Amino acid sequence: MSVRAVVAAGFALLLVALAVTLLHSAPRSAGSNFVDEHEEVTKLRGPDRLCQAGETLPADTAALRLLIGTYGRPAPALRVVARGRGGRIVTSGERRAGGPDGHVDIPIRQVDRLTPGLRVCVFAGAGGRTVLYGSAGQVRFEWLRPGSESWLELFPTIAHRFGLGRWNPLGSLLLPAVALLLLAAWAATARLVLREVGR
């Protein structure tokens, strides 16, 4: 086997591995309230609710993910309502009782635009105690995008986020530009290896 064959096989394997990774589909995050799930924040007893003000709903949100604990019992029915100024309901949704505790996703009516300044309430249905997790007195709200997406499908979103909070004259094209630079480094590497190692 020649060095050329090793390089060709290596890049082929790499492309296959990248394809498998980038085509993996799963629910993806739309954003969160930047609260970690370090500790128990509150315990809802039976039909009960928790409300947090000053929440922001990210764009393209279709579900709320919460970490709950139910002491081994099935998860209670959960409902979420997000209200804007004047109590106007921006979105809401619910999840039927059942299933294990841990991370649970509550589907909501999709919100396409970023919406700040909301009061978000989580209602737990009848049942025992339901622990909600977060830190520093705040429950973590993680908002999910609709459906399930591969990394490739998410690429435009990632490229948009990649361009924020930094010097960036290229906008959403920064990530593709960086990827091209890496590809150029790979091409130079292949050429150098063939020339220096393969002869």
Partner 1 sequence: MSALRRIPAAAWTCAAIALANVVVWSFVTPPFHVPDETVHVAYVQYFAEHAEPPNEAGGPVFASQEAGLLDALLFPRTVGSTETGTIWSELQDDAVDGTEARDLPTGDGGGIVSNSNQPPLFYALETIAYLVTPSDDLLDRLVAMRLAAALLAALTTLFVFLFLRELFAEPWTWTVGALAVAFQPLFGFISAGVTPDALLFAASAALFFTLARAFRRGLTLGRGLGIGAVLAVGVLAKLNFVALVPGALLGLGLLVMRTRPRRPALPPAGIAVGAMGVVALGYIALNRLVWDRSAWGGGIEAAATNATGGPAGLPGIGLSEQLSYTWQLYLPRLPFLSDQFTYFPPYEIWFKGMIAVFGWLDTRFDAWVYRVALVVAIPLALLFVLGLWQRRAALRERWAEVLTWLTIAAGLLGSIGFLGIRYRQDSGFVFEQARYLLPLLPLYASGLVLAALAVGRRWGRQLGAAIVLLALAHGVFAQLLVIARFYA
Residues in contact with partner 1 by the rule CB under 8 A: 1-3, 6-7, 10-11, 13-14, 17-18, 21, 28-29, 31-32, 34-37, 56, 58-59, 114, 116, 140, 142, 151, 154, 157-158, 161-162, 164-167, 174, 178, 181-182, 184-186, 188-189, 192-193, 195-199
Give me the least distance between CB of 84 and partner 1, in Å please. 15
Q: At what angle do helices 174-192 and 151-162 cross, to 10 degrees?
A: 110
Q: Which is nearer to partner 1, 34 or 71 (CB)?
A: 34
The 3 state secondary structure assigned to the chain is: CCHHHHHHHHHHHHHHHHHHHHCCEECCEEEECCCCCCEEEEEEECCEEEEEEEEEECCCEEEEEEEEECCCCCCCCEEEEEECHHHCEEEEEEECCCCCCEEEEEEEEEECCCEEEEEEEEEECCCCEEEEEEECCEECCEEECCCCEEHHHHHHHHHHHHCCCCCCCCHHHHHHHHHHHHHHHHHHHHHHHHHHHCC
Give me the least distance between CB of 79 and partner 1, in Å please. 24
Give me the least distance between CB of 158 and partner 1, in Å please. 5
Distance between terminal CA atoms of the chain? 13
Q: Which is nearer to partner 1, 22 or 126 (CB)?
A: 22
Q: Is the dihedral of CA 183, 30, 165, 67 positive or negative?
A: negative
Q: Which is nearer to partner 1, 61 or 76 (CB)?
A: 61
Q: Which is nearer to partner 1, 94 or 155 (CB)?
A: 155
Give me the least distance between CB of 19 and partner 1, in Å please. 12
Q: Which is nearer to partner 1, 48 or 149 (CB)?
A: 149
Q: Which is nearer to partner 1, 77 or 193 (CB)?
A: 193
Give me the least distance between CB of 104 and partner 1, in Å please. 16
Give me the least distance between CB of 45 and partner 1, in Å please. 26
